[in-house]
């Protein structure tokens, strides 16, 4: 893990961490409700806010450094326990013919819904997208953690937005107002922009999860071999909103998507 910390995403992760704590520091240094409560000895909200920011940073690093579901080579499988059984489970027990795909870049056999990431140079199970914000792919193993991180980050941002708004002080002229509130205004704008971005991201991902589709499948279904022959509104992996959400958030084992794709009653081309 420590090797990954100092990999290509080191600058992005450092910038995210420094920016997060810098905004939090500005909220504590200015005359916001956060500082007033701290000065009055009312420490509950300040402590909870710091813990929420800390949780968002820890989740950020967890998602950023986590294996998103990389497909291992034969040599890697020899040194990893239990993957031989998992590899056997990836072969669906179905009477319908299934043509195994092989990646054109790393030449590994890809299970259904996997894709090769040009940035990571690895194939990822249930590939969703490569996120430059976390400098990692979002895939089968870290997608739910990515959404949890968005929830926690949104909570911290909205709370920070409230505290920043409470800290603006009056001044007779614009120049003096900017001198008094310049840093707080910068923090307020950053929090506002990131709040909008996180809300849009979270809304999009929750919608896609409820439909049991991925960002890659949604954007490129006309180029994906197992989807391009399906109708516009047809999704062979959709099992209903409730079951889709349950499977995504509550089922932790590897899903054999070939079995879902060729389930009884489906007729994919």
241 pLDDT more than 80: yes
Question: Do the Cβ atoms of 135 and 8 come closer than 8 Å?
Answer: yes
Please indicate whether residue 56 or residue 108 has the higher confidence score (pLDDT).
56
Find the distance separating the first CA and the last CA of the chain, reported in whole Å: 42
Cα 216 from Cα 128, distance rounded (Å):
5
Cα 22 from Cα 28, distance rounded (Å):
10
Mean pLDDT, residues 42-57? 96
Question: Model confidence over 144-172: pLDDT tens digits?
Answer: 999 999 999 999 999 999 999 999 988 88
Please report which confidence band the pLDDT of residue 76 belongs to, taking 50, 70 and 90 as the band edges.
low
| Catalytic residue, candidates 103, 117, 123, 131 | 131
Residue 211 among the catalytic residues = no
Cα 244 from Cα 246, distance rounded (Å):
5
């Amino acid at each position: 893990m420590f090797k990954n910390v100092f990999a290509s995403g080191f600058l992005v992760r450092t910038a995210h961490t420094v920016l997060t704590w810098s905004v939090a520091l500005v909220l504590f240094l200015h005359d916001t409700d956060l500082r007033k409560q701290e000065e009055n000895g009312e420490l509950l909200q300040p402590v909870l806010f710091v813990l929420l920011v800390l949780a968002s940073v820890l989740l950020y690093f967890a998602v950023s450094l986590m294996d998103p579901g990389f497909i291992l080579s034969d040599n890697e499988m020899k040194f990893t326990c239990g993957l031989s059984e998992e590899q056997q489970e990836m072969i669906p027990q179905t009477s319908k013919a299934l043509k195994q795909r092989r990646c054109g870049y790393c030449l590994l056999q890809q299970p259904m819904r996997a894709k090769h990431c040009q940035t990571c140079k690895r194939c990822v199970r249930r590939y969703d997208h490569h996120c430059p914000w976390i400098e990692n792919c979002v895939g089968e193993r870290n997608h739910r953690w990515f959404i949890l991180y968005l929830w926690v980050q949104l909570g911290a941002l909205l709370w920070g937005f409230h505290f920043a708004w409470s800290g603006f002080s009056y001044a007779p002229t614009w120049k003096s107002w900017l001198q008094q509130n310049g840093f707080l205004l910068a923090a307020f704008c950053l929090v506002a922009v990131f709040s909008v971005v996180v809300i849009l991201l979270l809304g999009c991902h929750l919608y896609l999860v409820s439909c049991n589709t991925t960002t890659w499948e949604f954007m490129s279904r006309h180029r994906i071999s197992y989807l391009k022959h399906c109708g516009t509104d047809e999704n062979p992996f959709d099992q209903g909103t409730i079951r889709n959400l349950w499977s995504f958030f509550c089922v932790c084992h590897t899903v054999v998507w070939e079995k879902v794709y060729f389930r009884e009653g489906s007729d994919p081309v």
